[in-house]
Amino acid sequence: MQHDDVLWDVIGNKQFCSYKVKTKTQNFCRNEYNITGLCNRSSCPLANSQYATVKEEKGQCFLYMKTIERAAFPSRLWERVKLSKNYEKALEQIDENLIYWPRFIRHKCKQRFTKITQYLIRIRKLTLKRQRKLVPLSKKVERRESRREEKALIAAQLDNAIEKELLERLKQGTYEDIYNFPIHAFDKALEQQDEESETDSSEEEDEDVGQVEYVEGDEIDESDLSDFEAMDKLEVDGEEEQEHSSIAEEQEKETSISKGKTPVKGLARKKRPFVEIEYEQETEPSAKASST
Amino acid sequence: MLQLYRTLEQLAARKKRQKEREALGDKAPPKPVPKTIENQRIYDETTVDPNDEEVAFDEATDEFSTYFNRETSPKILITTSDRPRGRTVRLCEQLAKVVPNSHVYYRRGLALKKIIPQCVARDFTDLLVINENRKVPNGLIVSHLPNGPTAHFKMSNARLAKELKRKGKDPTLHIPEVILNNFSTRLGHTIGRMFASLFPYSPQFVGRQVATFHNQRDYIFFRFHRYIFRNEKKVGLQELGPRFTLKLRSLQKGTFDSKYGEYEWVHKRHEMDTSRRKFHL
């Protein structure tokens, strides 16, 4: 004897069914053999002894049927038929197998089968296109990396680095003649001359070490000084960097006053490593040239 | 900004040391050089020696040699991932202004493996793909085209040109210079050459524009400036153009093929991030 109605009264209608999912507007059935997915008197696989579904496994569709005769044998309860891959033929198969069954079940089986084939087609199409792979980010790692990036940014001192690189390129001459900084080339020429004069002077000093020399006193210093200043001023007017030369003059005066009888040339030479001022040195080689 | 707070003990110790130094005057021992991460960096055995012949030979025969021999001049295709948002699109446009001879194309859901043969057919030399996540650009793929290496970077802190504090104008069409700083290892060299090959070989100094790729602790900072020499010891810099930071994630030998490609270098976090003093670029 089948007790469908009793079962439905117990399970579906008001009391508890473990497959039932209640929402505000509707009840769903989570039973895997349910044909529509809703919790209804006609859709409940437990409350209907004659029932059929279409299920899909790994791309293959099967028609499952349950009959009253096998109700006592749960292990053999569901009978399955493999459906053809051809859509129309499969529909005919369903009709064939479910002949004389209630209209509702036949209709719903075909509907379910249609939906399943449609989503299988979609799966096949999507696998051919590009798949988006989701890569999980670890918040800890992301935070660590952003912190390290900040510190690297500070350590990089980008502006300074870029400026240094550009100045180096300028010095190496990659920009050739675009930038006219005559003083720069002048610097180089002067440095070369200074190096030559340094080597010359060092040789001379070595030679002079043992010898006795008689040098005049203050007169020469003052006259030399005055000549020096005049020459400096004449040279300076034509150029831009008057500040440098004026500083040179002042320092020269101070040191000459403090040191007294030391020759001006020696002063200039001693000062060179500490004070890089062109015009002081400019006059010096010319003075040397005149003396030698 | 990040600040250093010193404890009271450290302040007291510092004062004591200063007093001792002053007391000793000239005889004080020279100041110790402070330890920085760059000082303490673990020596990388693949660091390139400028006189290394092997490296020079490799570089004369690698995929960028055609660029460095001036046989090809770069032509670049810039694109994004699917459905780009406003920020990414604007970044692409600005990049196109920065990099000469570059074209922006919309992705429209095309597969990269199908785009690449088409690009090769139309004589493109490089492909730049800006990947986007959550409305913000977060990745960059640089693929050198005939059959050259593909580098995948993580992009962060991308700032558009108008967001920078500047009063400068747009970048002009002159070819910019390129500065590549601190690419010391073999891997760094390859990446540096890859960046260099994006820009035409001879820059137009009249334009006074410079694109900088500065590597610091494996982060590559990209900046685009206009410079002006005020005198021979001072330069003024004005930042135009976008800026972003890149971190190399993988370098793959052929053109883009994430599944079957041969990876020359992959960032493996558990092996490579164990030491704070070890860097790979």
Please name the amino acid found at residue B120. V
Residues of B in Cβ contact (< 8 Å) with A130:
109, 111
| C-alpha to C-alpha distances, B116 to A129, B82, B126, nearest whole angstrom | 16, 16, 10
* Rounded Cα distance, A28 and A44, in Å: 10
* Rounded Cα distance, B281 and A169, in Å: 24
User: pLDDT by residue (tens digit) across B186-229?
Assistant: 899 899 999 999 999 888 888 889 999 999 999 999 999 999 88
**DSSP conformation letters of A123-176:** HHHHHHSPPPPP-PPPHHHHHHHHHHHHHHHHHH-HHHHHHHHHHHHHHHTTTT
* Six-digit token string for B186: 């073999």
Class of domain B63-272 (CATH, top level): alpha beta
* Rounded Cα distance, A159 and A167, in Å: 12
Instruction: Report the gap between the CA of B54 and the closest CA in chain A (Å).
Output: 27
For strands B76-80 and B126-133, give the pairing: parallel
Q: Specify whether the CB–CB gap between A248 and A277 falls below 8 A.
A: yes
Q: Minimal CA–CA distance to A156: which of B152, B177, B281?
A: B281
For strands B234-252 and B150-159, give the pairing: antiparallel
Long-range contact pairs involving A91-94 (C-beta distance under 8 Å, separation at least 24): A93/A63, A94/A54, A94/A63
Whole-number pLDDT of residue B26: 74
For strands B209-216 and B219-231, give the pairing: antiparallel
Handedness of CA A157, A160, A161, A162 (dihedral sign): positive
Tell me how far apart the 2 most distant CA atoms of chain B are, in Å.
Answer: 75
* pLDDT cut 70: percent of chain B above it: 98
The answer to whether the Cβ–Cβ distance between B219 and A148 falls below 8 Å is yes
Please name the amino acid found at residue A79. E
Whole-number pLDDT of residue B52: 81
Annotated domain spans of chain B:
63-272
Chain A contact probe: residue of B133, B208, B212 with most A CBs at under 10 A? B212
Which residue from A129, A156, A163 is facing B221, i.e. has the nearest CB? A156
Residues linked to residue B213 through DSSP beta bridges, in sequence order: B180, B222
The answer to whether the Cβ–Cβ distance between A158 and B221 falls below 8 Å is yes
Helix, strand, coil % in chain A, rounded to nearest 5 = 60, 10, 30
Whole-number pLDDT of residue B43: 84
Structure letter (DSSP) for residue B218: T
Chain B contact probe: residue of A133, A140, A153 with most B CBs at under 10 A? A153
Tell me the CB-side half-sphere exposure of residue A151, using CA atoms within 13 A. 13
Residues of A in Cβ contact (< 8 Å) with B218:
152
Element (H, E) at B167: none
* Three-class DSSP category at B246: strand
Helix extents (H) in chain B: 8-24, 53-61, 65-68, 86-98, 112-121, 186-196, 269-272
* Six-digit token string for A95: 């009709």
User: pLDDT by residue (tens digit) across B71-123?
Assistant: 888 999 999 998 899 999 999 999 999 998 999 999 888 888 889 999 999 99
* Six-digit token string for A22: 């209640």
* Rounded Cα distance, B93 and B100, in Å: 12
Residues of A in Cβ contact (< 8 Å) with B227:
162, 166
The answer to whether the Cβ–Cβ distance between B219 and A155 falls below 8 Å is no
Cα angle B88, B216, B220 (rounded to 5 degrees) comes to 20
Tell me the CB-side half-sphere exposure of residue B259, using CA atoms within 13 A. 5
The answer to whether the Cβ–Cβ distance between A153 and B269 falls below 8 Å is no
* Rounded Cα distance, B139 and B245, in Å: 10
Q: Minimal CA–CA distance to B217: which of B277, B264, B274?
A: B277
The answer to whether the Cβ–Cβ distance between A155 and B38 falls below 8 Å is yes
The answer to whether the Cβ–Cβ distance between B214 and A161 falls below 8 Å is yes
Give yes or no for residue B53 having a pLDDT over 90: no
Give yes or no for residue B256 having a pLDDT over 60: yes
Instruction: Report the gap between the CA of A128 and the closest CA in chain B (Å).
Output: 11
User: pLDDT by residue (tens digit) across A61-95?
Assistant: 999 999 989 888 999 999 999 999 999 999 999 99
* Rounded Cα distance, A162 and B254, in Å: 33
Closest CA in chain B for residue A176: B205
* Three-class DSSP category at A289: helix
Q: Specify whether the CB–CB gap between B158 and B172 falls below 8 A.
A: no
* Rounded Cα distance, A147 and A156, in Å: 14
Confidence tier at A281 by pLDDT (50, 70, 90): very low
Q: Specify whether the CB–CB gap between B84 and B77 falls below 8 A.
A: no
Whole-number pLDDT of residue B64: 85
Where residue B101 falls (left for φ over 0; alpha for ψ -120 to 50; beta otherwise) is: left
Of A36-40, A236-240, A272-276, B142-146, the poorest mean pLDDT is in A236-240
Average pLDDT over residues B141-157: 92
Average pLDDT over residues A112-129: 93
Confidence tier at A203 by pLDDT (50, 70, 90): low
Which residue from A129, A155, A169 is facing B217, i.e. has the nearest CB? A155
User: pLDDT by residue (tens digit) across A8-57?
Assistant: 988 887 788 999 999 999 999 999 999 999 999 999 999 999 999 999 99
Average pLDDT over residues A175-204: 63
Average pLDDT over residues B130-154: 92
Please name the residue that has the structure tokens 């580098």: B151
Residues of B in Cβ contact (< 8 Å) with A189:
none
Which residue from B205, B212, B217 is facing A152, i.e. has the nearest CB? B217
Structure letter (DSSP) for residue A45: T
CA A59: distance to chain centroid? 43
* Six-digit token string for B40: 């303490």
Highest mean pLDDT among A247-256, B3-12, B64-73, B101-110: B101-110
Give yes or no for residue B133 having a pLDDT over 70: yes
Handedness of CA A213, A218, A223, A225 (dihedral sign): positive
Whole-number pLDDT of residue B31: 79
How many other C-beta atoms can be found within 10 angstroms of the C-beta atom of residue A101? 17
Residues of B in Cβ contact (< 8 Å) with A175:
205
Whole-number pLDDT of residue A237: 44
ipTM of the complex: 0.86
Average pLDDT over residues B254-265: 86
Confidence tier at A198 by pLDDT (50, 70, 90): low
Residues of A in Cβ contact (< 8 Å) with B225:
162
Please name the amino acid found at residue A287. A
Residues of B in Cβ contact (< 8 Å) with A143:
none
Give yes or no for residue A262 having a pLDDT over 70: no
Whole-number pLDDT of residue A140: 94
Whole-number pLDDT of residue A92: 95
- Compare B48 and A6 and report the one with higher pLDDT: A6
Average pLDDT over residues B160-179: 84
Average pLDDT over residues B11-19: 88
The answer to whether the Cβ–Cβ distance between A158 and B223 falls below 8 Å is yes
Give yes or no for residue B183 having a pLDDT over 70: yes
* Three-class DSSP category at A93: helix
User: pLDDT by residue (tens digit) across A214-244?
Assistant: 776 655 554 454 554 444 454 444 444 444 4
Whole-number pLDDT of residue B56: 84
